[in-house]
Amino acid sequence: MKTITILGATGSIGTSTLDLIEREPERFEVLALTANCDVARLAAAAIRTRAKRAVVADEGCLADLRSALAGTDIKCAGGRAAVIEAATMGADITMGAIVGCIGLEPVMAAIQGGKTVILANKEPLVSAGDVVLAAAAKYGATLLPADSEHNAIFQCFDAARPERVRRIILTCSGGPFRTWSTAEMRSVTPEQAVAHPNWSMGAKISVDSATLFNKGLELIEAARLFPVPHDSIEIVIHPQSVIHSLVDYVDGSVLAQMGPPDMRTPIAHCLAWPDRMATPMAPLDLVAIGRLDFEAPDPERFPALRLTREALNMGGARPAILNAANEIAVAAFLAREIGFLEIAAIVDDTLSVYHPAAPGTLGDVLAVDAEARSIARRQVGYRNGALMKDSVV
């Protein structure tokens, strides 16, 4: 039996993880579950899994959590420090699924425990890649990628002979606007952007998939995880989302990992690694799928790909700035403060005006993140003001 802590237990990744471990209760013991403030779902999950501890990041929700768990032996805690403390309980496996840079410190705390950390949120490798990898090496932690694309690469990549890898090919569904013109995308609504054609995900990552920022962030993650030159990582649109990524070797062999578009498959691979565990997904029916299509992405209609590759190549603080600005821009779009196409424009503007030194510590990363968010918010204000002015005129 392995002990497990789930950071972000009520989100889509957290609930998928819970679904898997509850199917094999003899295999996993839950130490801690955390959430922001979804008390009902957190308490229910903690009771079902007999978790030792339940934590809400929003301390204002702690009283409700205590009430929901009254009469149980489950310890309750609240606040940022409590989430970080939950990550230090010594779990054999920690699932890092807190969206945003708020999840950086808990993940780092888990890494310092020297056990297995499953990375499902992008910020550790995008915003703090060098710092996180250095910490994993120092403390002997094992990092496993839960993203379907990186997990696919992990399954196909010959880590013992990386010099034999010629290319990594990240596949991309293309999102809901794959065939839309730039003019058509000007009027995209939040409801349209979160309606991903293949995957069931949260609002933020769904918008990232629509802009292709999600794939750009995955490009940066892949460069951190796998020792290949940046220009050896390619992106190909694959609308069916059946092939999750491919690894091309120098002898011409191309290994691909295939599976249904369900996050429980890569999560299960991480939970059981280096073993395998059963999932509820039906066997892949290639005859029913019928065909697999591929096409090149268009960097003109989707500038996120250019911006993320430039940030990766420039290195230093650029990926952290890009990630922070994108989070602010996506939130503004979902709040209807800016248009869909302005997400990439705000990221570009923020990168253009902010040039700090490369972060050397987690504190440096968080400082860069905070300043980039402040700048991006001002950019949102400028563009929102112009938008309102145009609508009045």
100 in a domain, yes or no?
yes
Instruction: Quote the pLDDT of residue 200.
Output: 62
Please list, in sequence order, all residues whose beta carbon lies within 8 angstroms of the beta carbon of residue 4, skipping any fewer than 6 positions away: 21, 28, 29, 30, 31, 91, 92, 93, 94, 95, 271
60 in a domain, yes or no?
yes
Q: What is the pLDDT of residues 78-128, one digit of tens each?
A: 999 999 999 999 999 999 999 878 889 999 999 999 999 999 988 899 999
111 in a domain, yes or no?
yes
- Is 380 within 8 Å of 350 (Cβ atoms)? no
Residue 235, SS3 per DSSP: strand
Q: Rounded to an integer, what distance in angstroms lies between the CA atom of residue 7 and that of residue 199? A: 21
In angstroms and rounded to an integer, the radius of gyration of the C-alpha atoms of the chain is 21
Residue 46 belongs to domain with CATH number: 3.40.50.720
393 in a domain, yes or no?
yes
Domain total in the chain: 2
Residue 358 belongs to domain with CATH number: 1.10.1740.10
Q: What DSSP element (H or E) covers 94? A: strand 93-96
Looking at 84, 117, 145, the residue that finishes a domain is 145
192 in a domain, yes or no?
no
Looking at 89, 111, 145, the residue that finishes a domain is 145
Instruction: Quote the pLDDT of residue 6.
Output: 98
Low-confidence ranges of the chain (pLDDT < 50): 388-393
Instruction: Quote the pLDDT of residue 393.
Output: 30
| Residue 53 one-letter amino acid | R
Q: Rounded to an integer, what distance in angstroms lies between the CA atom of residue 115 and that of residue 357? A: 31
Query: Is the pTM here over 0.85, yes or no?
Result: yes
151 in a domain, yes or no?
no
Instruction: Quote the pLDDT of residue 195.
Output: 84
Instruction: Quote the pLDDT of residue 37.
Output: 95
Instruction: Quote the pLDDT of residue 269.
Output: 97
170 in a domain, yes or no?
no
Range of the domain at 380: 315-393
371 in a domain, yes or no?
yes
Looking at 114, 145, 176, the residue that finishes a domain is 145
